[in-house]
A and B are shown apart, each in its own frame.
Chain A
Amino acid sequence: MRTLEQTTQEVLDLAAKHFQLPSGSLAPDDDFFKKLGIDSLQTLEMLSRLENHFGIELPDYEVQGVSDFKTLAERIQSRL
């Protein structure tokens, strides 16, 4: 079982990879809309990638209103 810290780190690594950013360039409190300059549609694409990685299903309502990696990681952790 992953710890929340591990999950958060994996989320950051995957997001950086997905958006072709250097590893370590994202932080848990970063607002991904602002930091990545992405729109809601690109966020959904990122979520699909995270789902595949963690082997979970994350309903759209679970991520409604979430805009930072830390909260996103918490939502993922609750479904692991």
Chain B
Amino acid sequence: MLDLSKYQSVGEALRDALDQYANEVCLIEADREREKERLTYRDFKQRAHPLAKALQDSVFSAGARAGIIMTNQSKWLISAYAIFFAGGVLVPLDYKLTPDEQWQLLKHSEASLLITEYPIWRQLSGSPGRATATNVQTVLVTEAPANADLSGAQRWEEFRGTGEPVFVARKRSDTACVVYSSGTGGRPKGCMMTHENYLEQCVALTSLYPFWPGVRYLSILPTNHAIDFMVGFFGPFTCGAAVVHLRTLRPEYVRQAFPKYKITYVSLVPLVLKNLQKGLQARFDALPLGKRKIFNALVGVNKALTKSRPRLGISRLLLKQVHEAFGGALRAIIVGGAFSEPQTLQFFYDLGIPVANGYGLTEAGTAITVNDLKPFRADTVGKPLPGMEVRILEPSADGVGEVAVRGKTVMAGYLNEPELTAETVVDGWLLTGDLGRFDGAGHLQLAGRKKNMIVTEEGKNIYPEDIETVFESLSVKEFCVLAANYIWPKRSMTGEKLVLALHLEEGQQYSEELHQDINARNNRLINYKRIHGIVLLDEDFPRTASLKIKRNVLAERLAKLDSGTAILPL
């Protein structure tokens, strides 16, 4: 079992791993069918140390914050390691946000350094948001063409110091990363994750899903996401395993990567997992009747033999073709970011491919519960990870209440938001805002949300406050975006939608013109952030003394309307 107890920081654990596994492959990077790069831990160190030295030679000091906005690739991890080595605090940002959103978070994080890719920098450098984030003093850009206009940035490849950098020690309680769980356009929620959070989470997770030299993890979820940061970087690196990056995520190249690189683990969001299921099911359905009967019989045998625990060897023999399509070395698919439907999880398990289903949130350091496969359960999100205390607050008669979590992986708080932190972490217990219950076997079952937000199948957390700016100056008396489930609670974690509540001016009608305006504004939002309907309320919205809408009271009032007829579809 992995022991990280002697380490004080993420950088320290990684530093030793680079020496301990010097000859092992740590990174493979492919672009379509071409393999671009294959690095050993020794190579990785040789790339990262000159960067760390250059950072130390510049104004970068212990505790300084550095943003990374990159797609999944080797330079992401090399840069992150150099930042940790130099004692910095990493601010991993989502490359899919708009440039203005990225600048907004860079400003909020007070990052002095930004490391990004040239195509992203092209967008960022021309964005008006740049003028506001004056804290960003240095920008390093990777893979810029020879004659490119860098708009004040420096080339990452040329930002190299000579001589050995000096490792900067950090304490376990120091912030390692500021990870944004939401807040683009609203109130930024920058989770301050400590070195202890990561060290403890890594030990807990690898006790159930171990890595070792030779294991290959296919990194598809964005590395800024808590899951990929842990199982696509820190976890495998502390154990000497390898991470495979693909520069394009087209389904055909992802499919090819499994057999080509003999992938051991991959993390997917539910949407991709479901898509994979559909594709496989279509292939099974297309089998000639005789073959299909044999195949179904083999699946039946596999189900019977793996009822109490996975038996990978047997499953690979019984369902050889299926497993060969996945490379023949796949041990588990890790699914996260959003709720997965039980029948999808069961589908894969019946084929002998365990799905590590769990439940977590950034604030709790990746995962809170994970299916331990003893036995596999598709109907729950598993049991609490070792070291994690989970309890249900104010349970109803059927045991459902808000899920609260305590443990060494819970964040130190939200950056510059003491009030929000105090509301979220009470006496050491993180209030998740999710509803759930424990079954007799100690498995957690989720049952909807208490908080006003939705999670899409693509694993995107959408907070209504974050998208309201697009409806500003709408010609109505007042408006508010809410999650439909927040108004009309249903015990489900799927199919969540946002609605726009409107209070029209006196005598105003909901006109076609207004409808068109709302539609046009809605279309400016990226697809997964869009609202799905309008709810009209003919009364003033409840407000606080400072005139902020009391969303919970408004939701209670809207709840009196019939959800079946109150929502006008867009």
Contacts and interface: CB of A to CB of B under 8 A. Distances in A.
Interface of A: 31, 33-34, 39-41, 44-45, 47-48, 57, 59-62, 64-65, 67
Contact of B271 (A41, A59, A65): A41
Contacts of A64: 95-96
Contacts, number: 47
Interface in B454-475: 457-458
Interface in B262-291: 271-272, 275
Given A33-B527, A41-B271, A62-B119, A48 B71 contact: no
Interface of B: 32, 71, 95-96, 98, 117, 119-120, 247-252, 271-272, 275, 457-458, 523, 526-527, 530
A13 to B, nearest CB: 21
B317 to A, nearest CB: 31
B71 A60 contact: yes
Given A34-B527, A65-B526, A47 B250 contact: yes
Contact of B248 (A31, A33, A34, A59): A59
18 contacts: A31-B523, A39-B457, A39-B527, A40-B271, A41-B251, A41-B272, A41-B275, A44-B249, A44-B251, A45-B251, A48-B252, A59-B248, A60-B71, A60-B247, A60-B248, A61-B117, A64-B96, A65-B96
B98 A65 contact: yes
Q: Which residue, B119, B249, B250, B271, has most C-beta atoms of chain A within 10 A?
A: B250
B120 A57 contact: no
A39 B32 contact: no
B337 to A, nearest CB: 13
B416 to A, nearest CB: 29
B479 to A, nearest CB: 21
B119 A61 contact: yes
Contact of B119 (A33, A59, A67): A59
A63 B457 CA distance: 21
Contacts of B523: 31, 34
Nearest to A32: B527
Main secondary structure of the interface of A (DSSP, over half): helix
A65 B526 CA distance: 7
Q: Which residue, B248, B275, B457, B530, has most C-beta atoms of chain A within 10 A?
A: B248
Given A34-B523, A59-B119, 15 more contacts: A33-B527, A34-B530, A39-B458, A40-B271, A41-B251, A41-B272, A41-B275, A45-B251, A57-B32, A59-B247, A60-B247, A60-B248, A61-B117, A65-B526, A67-B526
A48 B249 CA distance: 11
A64 B95 CA distance: 9
Contacts of A41: 251, 271-272, 275
Nearest to A40: B458
Contact of B250 (A44, A61, A67): A44
B216 to A, nearest CB: 22
A64 B97 CA distance: 10
Nearest to A31: B523
Contacts of A31: 523, 527
A4 B419 CA distance: 54
Contact of B120 (A34, A40, A44, A61): A61
Nearest to A61: B119
Contacts of A47: 250
Contacts of A59: 119, 247-248
Contacts of B526: 65, 67
Contacts of A48: 250-252
Nearest to B527: A33
Nearest to B530: A34
Contacts of A39: 271, 457-458, 527
Contacts of B120: 61
Nearest to A45: B251
Contacts of A65: 96, 98, 526
B552 to A, nearest CB: 31
B102 to A, nearest CB: 12
Nearest to A42: B275
Closest 7 pairs (CB-CB, A-B): A33-B527, A61-B119, A44-B250, A48-B250, A60-B248, A41-B275, A31-B523
